[in-house]
Amino acid sequence: MKRIAESTVRRLSVYMRYLEELTARGIATTSSDELAEHSGTTPAQVRKDLSFFGSFGKRGLGYSVHELLDRIRRILGLGREWKVVIIGAGKIGSALSTYRGFTTRGFCVVGVYDKDPQKIGRRWDGHLVRDVTVFESDAAELRPDIAVLAIPAENVQSEVDRIVRAGIKAILNFAPGRLQVPAGVTLKTVNMAMELEGLSFALTNRDA
């Protein structure tokens, strides 16, 4: 498959949510105009995004909501359950571990880890916080797919290295800083300040 831009993948998630909404409303067909309007993009962009993955829809008839939703879910790899571990049971880590919305989308939290003796042994919504020193042996058994890293900026690289050593190929990181991962491992960093900067830009330029 061609290399797909992250922005395209992000839009697929947006289209998917709108298609889920249409399904819930019992609507069977949609169009690139409608998808674009509800996703903040253009009909040409919708067609271009979908064209990366083959042909969808019929000229003049639009897209079957059911078929398109099914295809997008498969493209995003959502037809299965992904095992997620969370490292850092602080404010962000504990909020994520108790968030029900992940499970409904197939992301199942199988372990929560921390290094603080005050947190180890606590339960967050049924998830026992375990000592991070047992992470690698747990991972050998549980075989998690995704690690969420919610620890302070210091020593993040050594935790990333620990995750990589455990054979995990996808990391969602919340800590600031530049991190290195080997080829074949995907690292995504969430940065709320950057999202706020996007809003700041929109507010500053809205009348331009």
Task: Provide the binding-site residues for ligand NAD, judged by CB under 6 A.
Answer: 87-93, 113-116, 119, 132, 150-153, 155, 159, 174-176, 190-192
The nearer residue to ligand NAD, 57 or 88, going by C-beta atoms, is: 88
Does the annotation flag 151 for ligand binding? no
47: nearest Cα among 79, 15, 10, 2: 15
E strands within the chain? 29-30, 63-64, 82-87, 107-114, 123-124, 127-131, 146-149, 170-173, 186-189
Rounded to whole angstroms, the Cα distance separating 180 from 157 reads 7
The nearer residue to ligand NAD, 44 or 153, going by C-beta atoms, is: 153
**Shortest distance (Å) from residue 190 CB to ligand NAD:** 4
The nearer residue to ligand NAD, 65 or 132, going by C-beta atoms, is: 132
DSSP-derived secondary structure letter, 132: G
Does the annotation flag 24 for ligand binding? no
**Residue 158, helix vs strand vs coil:** helix
> How many other C-beta atoms can be found within 10 angstroms of the C-beta atom of residue 65?
20
- Please provide residue 53's backbone torsions phi and psi, each rounded to the nearest 5 degrees: -110, 15
The nearer residue to ligand NAD, 1 or 192, going by C-beta atoms, is: 192
Does the annotation flag 93 for ligand binding? yes
Rounded to whole angstroms, the Cα distance separating 4 from 15 reads 16
The nearer residue to ligand NAD, 104 or 158, going by C-beta atoms, is: 158
**Shortest distance (Å) from residue 112 CB to ligand NAD:** 10
Q: Sort strands 186-189 and 170-173 into parallel, antiparallel or unpaired.
A: parallel
Does the annotation flag 177 for ligand binding? no
Residue nearest to ligand NAD (CB): 90
**Shortest distance (Å) from residue 16 CB to ligand NAD:** 23
Does the annotation flag 184 for ligand binding? no
CA torsion sign for 11, 16, 17, 23 is: positive
Does the annotation flag 163 for ligand binding? no
- The residue type found at 28 is A
- The residue type found at 133 is T
**Shortest distance (Å) from residue 165 CB to ligand NAD:** 14
**Shortest distance (Å) from residue 196 CB to ligand NAD:** 9
Annotated binding site for NAD(+): 88-93
Annotated binding site: 88-93
